[in-house]
């Protein structure tokens, strides 16, 4: 498995570009995937891939748009495969598509089905793929030329996202309301429409993601991280861990999840 990341020049929309490759020697491949609080657009050039959440199987073919996930799911590459993906800023997909992003919660969906107009706009970029470097330049130009939907709601949600990132998820709704000039009900409604999750869910997920990143990069011991990220005790942490990872910490730490490790240990 090879996961490579590429820089971009449109940070207001794109967090990162990445290429994911699975050789025939390691397939069939399977790993849990922990959501990282971003939406994605991914083009699968060849190979059979799918995501499994509970009993629901979602084939990953051609160009796929992925919404916010609140829990981990299983990723499988059944054959040799190659894909190129775009991790989007939390508010970017709404600004680009001007549609309710919560419709995509816990879903990987064919972009052609979800938003045909945008699919036909971005399709030529993937059809003309030669190498990652040229493709990132083409995508930078593509995204920088888009007409975006921005208004007071997107501005307030961007302020909320910036605060959540700055505080590494150690904030609550009251903290966020101190920074935006809207009611709690409006914040919760607009945040879910624009980002895809409620602010409460997003904060809880983001805090857990930051803890796991620090753990997987071996920055600090897990016991210290539990208290650093404001978990009352190990049982409180274990409840959140099971919620997000669908398994206990004891079970997780005995296994090897190469895709999670690759994502969290990116250079």
Q: Structural domain boundaries of the chain?
A: 2-144, 152-264
Give pLDDT, residue 103.
97
Cβ neighbourhood burial of 118 (10 Å; 0-12, 13-18, 19+): buried
Compute the distance between CA of residue 138 and CA of residue 222 in angstroms, rounded to an integer: 41
Taking residues 96-123, what's their average pLDDT? 98
**Domain 152-264: which CATH class?**
mainly alpha
> Which tokens in the block code for residue 249?
């910490």
Whether residue 224 is predicted with pLDDT greater than 90 in this model: the reply is no
Give the residue among 29, 80, 39, 2 at the shortest CA–CA distance from 262: 2
Task: Examine domains 2-144 and 152-264 and report if their fold is the same.
Answer: no
Taking residues 31-59, what's their average pLDDT? 95
Compute the distance between CA of residue 244 and CA of residue 27 in angstroms, rounded to an integer: 26
pLDDT band at 219 (very low <50, low <70, confident <90, very high): low
The alpha carbon dihedral of 75, 209, 174, 166 has a sign of negative
Whether residue 217 is predicted with pLDDT greater than 80 in this model: the reply is no
Q: Please state, for a pLDDT cut of 70, what percent of the chain lies above it.
A: 99
Q: What is the 3-state secondary structure (H, E, C) of 93-157?
A: HHHHHCCCHHHHCCCEEEHHHHCHHHHHHHHHHHHCCCCHHHHHHHHHHHHHCCCCCCCHHHHHH
Whether residue 141 is predicted with pLDDT greater than 60 in this model: the reply is yes
Q: What is the pLDDT of residues 157-179, one digit of tens each?
A: 999 999 999 999 999 999 999 99
pLDDT band at 214 (very low <50, low <70, confident <90, very high): confident
Whether residue 60 is predicted with pLDDT greater than 70 in this model: the reply is yes
Compute the distance between CA of residue 80 and CA of residue 109 in angstroms, rounded to an integer: 21
Give pLDDT, residue 164.
97
Name the residue with tokens 């409604």. 189
Superfamily the domain 2-144 falls into: Jelly Rolls (2.60.120.10)
Across-strand partners of 84?
A: 19, 43
Task: Give the mean pLDDT of the chain.
Answer: 93
**Model-level pTM?**
0.92
């Amino acid at each position: 498995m090879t996961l490579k990341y590429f820089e971009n020049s449109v940070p207001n929309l794109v967090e990162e570009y990445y290429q994911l490759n699975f050789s025939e020697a390691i397939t069939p491949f399977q790993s849990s995937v922990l959501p990282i609080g971003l939406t994605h657009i991914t083009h699968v050039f060849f190979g059979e891939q799918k995501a499994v959440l509970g009993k629901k199987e979602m084939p990953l073919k051609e160009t796929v748009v992925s919404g916010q996930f609140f829990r981990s799911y299983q990723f499988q590459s059944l054959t040799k495969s190659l894909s190129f993906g775009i991790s989007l800023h939390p508010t970017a997909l709404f600004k680009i598509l001007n549609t309710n992003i919560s419709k995509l919660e816990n879903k990987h969906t064919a972009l052609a089905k979800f938003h045909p107009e945008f699919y036909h706009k971005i399709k030529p970029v993937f059809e003309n793929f030669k190498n990652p470097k040229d493709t990132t330049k083409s995508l930078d130009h593509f995204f920088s030329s888009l007409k975006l939907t921005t208004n007071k709601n997107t501005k307030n949600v961007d302020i909320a996202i910036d605060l959540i990132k700055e505080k590494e998820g150690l904030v609550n709704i009251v903290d966020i309301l101190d920074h935006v000039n809207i009611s709690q009900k409006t914040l919760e409604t607009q945040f879910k429409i624009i980002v895809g999750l409620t602010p409460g869910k997003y904060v809880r997920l983001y805090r857990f993601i930051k803890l796991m990143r620090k753990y997987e990069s071996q920055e600090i011991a897990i016991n210290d991280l539990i208290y650093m990220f404001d978990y009352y005790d190990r049982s409180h942490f274990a409840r959140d861990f099971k919620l997000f990872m669908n398994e206990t910490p004891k079970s997780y730490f005995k296994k090897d999840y190469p895709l999670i490790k690759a994502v969290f240990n990116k250079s």
